[in-house]
Structure 1
Amino acid sequence: MGSVSIVGAGPGDPELITVKGQRLLAEADVIIYAGSLVPKALLDYAREDCEIYNSASMSLPEVLETIEKSVQNNKKVVRLHTGDPSIYGAIQEQMDALTEKGIEYDVVPGVSSFLATAAALKQEYTLPGVTQTVIITRNEGRTPVPDRESLRSLAAHKSTMCIFLSISMLSEVVEELIAGGYEPDTPIAIVQRASWPEQRIFRGTLSTICKEIEGKGVDRTTMIVVSHVLGSDYELSRLYAPEFSHGFRKASI
């Protein structure tokens, strides 16, 4: 029997795939990749004789059929997902179906786009005295969101919020965040295609950001970050303070 690996491709930069993920791509007999999101440059790691399928034009039954036939033919299969497959990756239904068919698989994590966004912004999401919480969420669209997880409800925490899959509804996002408790002058950053060569960054406040990106073609593959950490004063971490002792260092003061 062959093998199946569900691999996180990372946010876009081909070098941000994990070492293990790159190795599995190089060893694969079959690669099924999310062509609408995964950069084709990642396929350069594949062998010339590798069978490559773009899942953007495939249904779930077709993906599963391709995997099943490949495994039966003793082939190594990589199912390549964008970012980290555990976040909005739609992999649970695939994993459950593989389990039902008796096909074993491994999952290899990847660098999520919300982390690549922090790198692009050169920003730490968890600053002492500002916030120690990061909320990963999305606005309701074709996929429903439970009422208790609405942007309006989550905004009450006023922590760092990374909002996926919502740029087309930015005005609604802003309205919900302000209604939920964020002040209109709360900083916001929008990063399109974080880590890609065409990466773009826009900054503003909840009250200005819609006008800031108007007419600039900001659409898919975009992360919205709302947080007081963006340009905020903060307390220094105690971890490196001279008077702070821990298991690896004694206080020097």
Structure 2
Amino acid sequence: MALSYRLAALPLMALFLAGFGGPAHEGAALHGQEDYQGALEEYKKAQQTDPENKALDYNMGGAYHKLGEFQEAAKAFQRASEAEGELGRDARFNQGVALYRAGEAAEKSGDMETAQKSYAAAVEGYKALLKSGADDNDSRHNLELALAKIQEMEDKKKEQSQQKKQDGKEGESDDEKKQPDQQDDKQSEKKDQPGQEKQEQKPEPEKMKEEESRAGQMTPEEAKMTLNAIEKDEQELKKELRKQARPPSRRPEKDW
């Protein structure tokens, strides 16, 4: 649905309220020629001599709106809304339009906070306008559009939050899957690292003890030779002992 808008006859209103001639007249002429920047400059000049002229604020709001400066347009319409009668009501209506457009611009640029605030301000403005007793279908229509925008932003925010949670869960699941593989890799690295021996291999001190133990052991041939040597020594020893056990031989005495 399109946004309802009330800016068609703005230059004529400014011309009527400000009188013929002068900057207000020049601004209205430029406005009609779609020279909105030039019109805005003339309205500002006219306002210097007639600062309380709400029609000038109203037309300044229209020029700002055409230039795409929606926040400035909303401010100008806010000032014009202080006017009595139809001018004040139309200013409040167009203030809501400017706020709605400001919300769209902020949303497009990614400034969601400003967008939501602008839509909310438009909603409040249209509610106030309807509560004032105006039976205005255009205001009701624009109110519905602003409310729909707020709901749309809330829905997007929820979807993004849910998607973020889902992405987080999937990331945790991927990490859990990777952990066993990482452990296998670590074990493989330990096996492949040089200088690391299996636990079955004994440290150097134990190896030295084993070598010393083995050094004290003899081969069967060595043992046999040793036993033979011992037996021979024993036999020699026995012979020596027997000799020592005999009584000393006496020489025969000489017969003198």
TM, length-normalised to structure 2: 0.20
Structure number with higher strand proportion: 1
Structure number with higher helix proportion: 2
Larger Rg over CA atoms? 2
Greater RCO structure (CA 8 Å; 6+ sep):
1
